[in-house]
Chains A and B, each alone.
Chain A
Amino acid sequence: MENLIALLVAAPLLGAAVLLCGGRRLDAVGHWIGTVLAAVSFVIGAVLFADMLGKDAEAREIGQHLFSWIPVEGFQADIAFQLDQLSMTFVLLITGVGTLIHLYSIGYMEHDERRRRFFGYLNLFLAAMLLLVLADNYLLLYVGWEGVGLASYLLIGFWQHKPSAATAAKKAFLVNRVGDMGLSIAIMLMFTTFGTFAFGPVLESAGETSEGKLTAIALMLLLAACGKSAQVPLQSWLGDAMEGPTPVSALIHAATMVTAGVYLIVRSADIFNLAPDAQLVTTVVGAVTLLFGAIVGCAKDDIKKALAGSTMSQIGYMVLAAGLGPIGYVFAIMHLVTHGFFKAGLFLGAGSVMHGMNDEVDMRKYGGLRKYMPVTFVTFGLGYLAIIGFPGLSGFFSKDKIIEAAFAKGGTEGWILGGVALLGAAITAYYMTRVMLMTFFGEERWRSRPTASPDQPDVEPAAEHQGAHAEPHPHESPRSMTIPMIVLAFGSVFAGAFFGIGDRFVHWLEPVTGHKHGHPPVSALTITLSTVAVLVLGAGLAYLHYGRRPVPAVAPRGSLLTRAARRDLLQDDFNHVVLVRGGEHLTRSLVYVDHTLVDGVVNGTAASVGGLSGRLRKLQNGYARSYAVSMFGGAAVLIAATLLMRAV
C-alpha cells in the first residue's frame, strides 16, 4: 500500500508534464487526459482510504521513502511521504473536488483555445498540493507550498491578455512571497533548533526547546499561513485572484490551496500547543479576518468577489479554531472539508450563472434567474444554506462547533472570540442571503438594462464588450458543469451531518491532532440556538434590504463603511500608502545615501589619491642631483632608523 502514495502525486504530475510539453497535437484530448489523471489520483486515494479504514486508529499512519534528496552530512533532506488521517482527509478533498472541477472545466473552458494548457496547470496544481499535504518533512512541504503558489500564479493570470488578470497574478505572487519568507525562516529556525526538519523528530522534540524559540517558529509558520490562506494582514490578493477562470477560483481559491495555511498550523500542532502566545495571535488573526472578510463580502457587487470575501471569512473561522489548540484542531479541519464542498459548489454555481449571462459578474445585473437555471439555483441554494449554517446542513455542524470551541477558550478571550464568531455568523447569513436574493430572486434586471456604459464604471471590460449590446439569454449550463455542482451539493447537505453526528470526524482525526473536549461557559444548546438566532437575524435583515426593496441596477453611494468595504476595507490603499510608498521612500533615501555618501567617499578617495599622485609626481623632476639628494636623505633616514631601532 505504501508504494501507492507516490502514485498519488505522480499521476497529476505526469498529466502536467504531458499536457504542458505535449504541444498542440494534444489539444483535442488534453482536457480528458487531465481529468482522467485527476480521477486516477482520486481512485488511488480512495483505495488507500479503504485500506486505512481497515486498520486500527493508532496504526493508520503509513509512509514511503522515495529517495534521499540532499544527502549531506548534517543536512539530510529526503523525498519521503507520510500518509495519516490528516493527509488522507486532504487527499480525498483535493482529488475529489479536484476531479469534479476538472470535469466542470471541460464545459466551462470549452471555447478557450488554451484549454489544454489550462488542464496542464490544473494537474500541476493537484500534484503540488498533494505533495504539500503528503510530505513528511517541512522542506518537501515547502516544495509543494511553492508549487501551489506557482500554479495559482499561472492560473490567476491564465487570461493574461487582460491587464487586470496579469496584475492580479503578480499581486498574488508578491503577497504570497511575504508569507513564503515566513515559512522559509521557520524551516531555518527548525533546522538550527532541532537539526532536522522532518515532521516526526521536530514535533516530538518540540517540548525540549525553549518557549521563546517555539513561539518564533510558530509565528513564522503563522505568517506563512496568513500569506497562503489570505488572512489579515496578507489578505489583499484573494479578491483580485478572482480574475482567474471560475473553476480555478473554486478549486484553488476556495476549496484547497487557500486552506493550506490551516493545514500547516494543524500539522504543526505540537509546536503551537507549546507556544500559547503564538496561539493567541493565531486566534486574533482568525477573528479579525473572519469579520474582515464578512464585511467585505457584504459590499461587493461582483458575485465572485463577494464569495472571495466569504472564503476569507470562513478560513478565518478555521484559523481561529486552529489557534484554539486541541479543542479546535479537529473542527478547523472539519470546517475546512465542509467548506471545501459548499464553497466549491457556490463558485461553480457562480460560474454557471456567469456562463449563462455572457460572463457578467455584477450581481446588480442579475435577478430572477431561478426560473432559467433551476439546477444551478437548487445547488447554489443548498450551498447557500450550508454556508450560513442552516440547521442540519454541513456548515451548521462545523461552524457551530467552532463557535462553541471559541467560547470554550474560557475567560474574557473566550467571550470575545465567541462573540466575534457569532457576529461573523450573522454577517455571513446577511451577505450570502444578499448574494442569493440579488442573483436568483427579484426583478430581471438584465432585461431592462440602462443603455450606456459610462454610467457603469464598475463594469468589466470583457462583460461590456459582450453584453452591452446583446441582451443575455440566461440558460442552464451543460451536463458536464451541472453534475459536479450536484455532487458538491450533496456534500454540502450531508457531509456535516455525516462528520458531526456521533463525533465521527473527531474520532477519525484525533490520533493525529489530538482532541480535547471544550467546555463552553454556557451550554452547547444555548450556543446552537444563538447561532440559529443570529442566522435568522442576518438573513432577515438581508431580506429587508434586498428582498423587499428593488435592487438598484447602479450601486448607490452607500455609507462610509460600505464604500470602504467596496474597496476591500482600504487594504490596498493601506498597502500602497504604507508599504509601496514607504518602500519607495526607503529606496529613494538609500539611493540618495549611496549617491552622496558612498559615492562621495569613493570618489573623494579616488580624487585625493589622484591629487596625491600628481603632487608626488612633481618630486620626479628629472635632475640627477635631486635624485641623489633623495637617495642621500633616504640613506640617512635608513641609518638613523636602524640605529633608533637598537636604541629603543
Chain B
Amino acid sequence: MSASAVHSLWTMAADPIEKIDAPKIEYGQLSPTLIVIGAAILGILIEAFVPRRSRYYAQVFLSAVALAAAFAAVVGLAAGGYATTKAGIAAMGAIAVDGPALFLQGTILLAGLLGVFTFAERRLDPVAHGNRVDSFAAQAASVPGSDSEKAAVKAGFTTTEVFPLLLFAIGGMLIFPAANDLLTLFIALEVLSLPLYLLCALARRKRLVSQEAAVKYFLLGAFASAFTLFGIALLYGYAGSVSYATIAQVVDGTVQNVTPALADTMGNDALLLVGTAMLVMGLLFKVGAVPFHMWTPDVYQGAPTPVTGFMAAATKVAAFGALLRVLYVVLPGLRWDWRPVMWAVAIVTMLAGAIVAITQTDIKRLLAYSSIAHAGFILAGVIAASPEGVSSVLFYLGAYSFVTIGAFAVVTLVRDAGGEATHLSKWAGLGRRSPLVAAVFAVFLLAFAGIPLTSGFAGKFAVFKAAAEGGAGAIVVIGVISSAIAAFFYIRVIVLMFFSEPRPEGPTVAVPSPLTTTAIAVGVAVTVVLGVAPQYFLDLASQAGVFVR
C-alpha cells in the first residue's frame, strides 16, 4: 500500500458527511459468547471483591454455570434453526451463526466444562499446610523456589484467576470458528491465545519447566500472529475488504467495483497467494501442523496437565473451525492453489507426528506428538473440500476432544513424590495395581489409535472416507500407514501397563474428587458411545456441515 493510499483510506473513513449507523447487534444469536465473556468479567470482579476463602467456590460455580448456560444457549439456537435454515451473519457481518459454528461452539463449551472440572480438582496433591491445593501455583508472580513462594504456599494462596482466564480463552475460542471477517478472526485468536499463555505458566510443580513452556508458547505464538496479521493485511490489499464474503467474491471475480484507494493492489494475485499462505500458516500453527508444530511437545509437557488437556482439545477444535471457514468460505475459488499445499502439510504432519512419537519416553510428550498426528488426520478431512469433509472434521473434532481431555485427566492421577509421574517407565505394570484406571486409559489409547468400537475409529473412518471421495486417495493411504505406526506406540503403552512387572517404587494412583472422575467418566462414555453408535452424531455433524456465506 502506498502512502497516498493509506491517506485516502483515512480521509474516506473520516468523511464528515457520511452518517455512521449504530451497529446492529443480534444479542440473542451471540448469547453463548456473551455469556462466557460476561462470566469472565464477573470472575475478575470476584477476584477483586470476594474474600479469598470463598473465591475458589464462587469461581468454580460461576464458570460451570456460565459454560452450562452458554451450552444451553447453543442448543437453543441450534434447535431454533440457526444451524440450518435461519443460519446467518450477525454483528454487522463480523460473526457467523451457522451449523459449523454452533457445532464447534457446543463442543468447545463441553470441553471447557470438563476443563473446569479438571482445573478445580483439589484432592490429588497432598494437603499443604492444612490447605487443599490444585494444579496451579500458589502465587504466579513469586519466583520459583523463592521465599515468597514458600510464604504464599504457607499462606494457602491459590491462583483462582485461572477460571476467568479459562473463560476468556473459551470466549475467544467461541468467536474463532465463527469469525466472519479477518479482523474478528485475529482478535479472537489473540483473545484465546493470551490467557492460554498465562495458564501454561501456572503449574504448581516443575514451575521452571512450566514457565519455559509459557514463554516459548508466547514467543512462537506472537511470531505466528505476526504472520497471520501480515497475511490479513495482504488480503485486505487484494480485496479491499476484510469481510470473508467480499474476499470470496473478489477471488471469484464477481465483484468488480474497485476501491479507488486500492486500485494499485486490488486483484493482484501475488497478494492473494502470499496473504493466504501467511494467514493459513497462523492457523496451522494453532492446530499444531508440521512444520509449525515445534511448540506443541514442549508446551504440552510443561503446562499444568489440566491446562494441557483443555488446550489440546479446545484449541484444536477452535483452530480447525477457523481454518475450515477460511478455506471453505473465503477461499473456495482458490482451492486448486491451496489443496496441493495442504496435501503436503497433511502428509508431513501425519508421518512426523506418528514417527517421532515412537521414541518418546514422557507420556505428555507422547500425547503431544499424538495430537500432531491427529492434526494431520483432521487435515485430510479438511482437504476433501466437500460437505462430507466438513461434517467428518466436525465429528472428528467432537470425538477427539473428549478422548484428549479424558486421557490428560488420567495422566493427572498417576503420581509419585514429585507430582505427576509422566515418565513412561513409571507406568509399567499400572494395570496390575490400578486395573480400572489402566483400563480407562487403555480405552482412550485405543480411541487415539482408531480401533473399532471407539470414537476414534468412527472419526478416522469418516475423515478418510471424505478424503478418498474428495480424490485424495494417496492421503488416505499415508494416513492409514501413519495410523499403523501410531498404533504401535499407543499399544506399547497398553502393553507396558498390563504386561510388565510393576516397579517397586512406582507411582501411586491418587483417588480424585468427583470432579475429575466426572471428566474421565464423560470422556469414556462419549468415546464408547460414539464408537458403538456413531450414526446419530454423524447425522448431527452432517446437518451442521454447511457454512453460511
Contacts and interface: CB of A to CB of B under 8 A. Distances in A.
B521 interface: no
Interface in A583-639: 606, 609-610, 612-614, 616-617, 619-620, 622, 624, 626-628, 630-635, 637-639
A643 B220 contact: no
Q: Kindly name the residue among A628, A631, A641 whose own CB sees the greatest number of chain B CB atoms within 10 A.
A: A631
Contacts of B280: 638
Nearest to A637: B291
Given A627-B295, A631-B291, A638 B355 contact: no
Interface in B262-288: 269-270, 273-274, 276-278, 280-281, 285
A617 to B, nearest CB: 5
Given A631-B294, A641-B344, A646 B359 contact: no
Contacts of B356: 613, 616-617, 620
A627 B295 CA distance: 7
B294 A630 contact: yes
B281 A634 contact: yes
B478 to A, nearest CB: 14
Interface residues of B, number: 40
A630 B276 CA distance: 19
A638 B281 contact: yes
B295 A612 contact: no
A645 interface: yes
B292 to A, nearest CB: 5
Interface string B244-265: 0000000000000000000000
Please classify the interface of chain B as helix (H, G, I), strand (E, B), loop, or mixed, using the class held by over half of its residues: helix
Contacts of A639: 273-274, 277-278
A628 B220 contact: yes
B270 A643 contact: yes
Contacts of A619: 294
Contacts of B220: 624, 627-628, 631
A523 interface: no
A616 B360 CA distance: 11
Contact of A635 (B227, B298, B352): B227
A642 B359 contact: no
A635 B358 contact: no
A609 B485 contact: yes
Interface stretch (B40-48, B332-340, B447-455): B332-340
A641 B356 CA distance: 25
A641 to B, nearest CB: 5
Q: Kindly name the residue among A620, A630, A632 whose own CB sees the greatest number of chain B CB atoms within 10 A.
A: A620
A630 B291 contact: yes
B395 to A, nearest CB: 27
Given A639-B278, A646-B337, A624 B215 contact: yes
B341 A642 contact: yes
Nearest to B339: A645
A610 B358 contact: yes
Interface string B351-377: 010011111100000000000000000
Interface in B488-509: 488
B219 A638 contact: no
Interface pairs A-B: 10 shortest CB-CB: A634-B291, A627-B294, A639-B277, A613-B358, A613-B359, A642-B277, A624-B216, A638-B277, A613-B355, A641-B341
Interface of B: 215-216, 219-220, 223-224, 227, 269-270, 273-274, 276-278, 280-281, 285, 290-292, 294-295, 297-298, 336-338, 340-341, 344-345, 352, 355-360, 485, 488
5 contacts: A609-B355, A627-B220, A641-B344, A642-B273, A645-B336
Interface of A: 606, 609-610, 612-614, 616-617, 619-620, 622, 624, 626-628, 630-635, 637-639, 641-643, 645-646
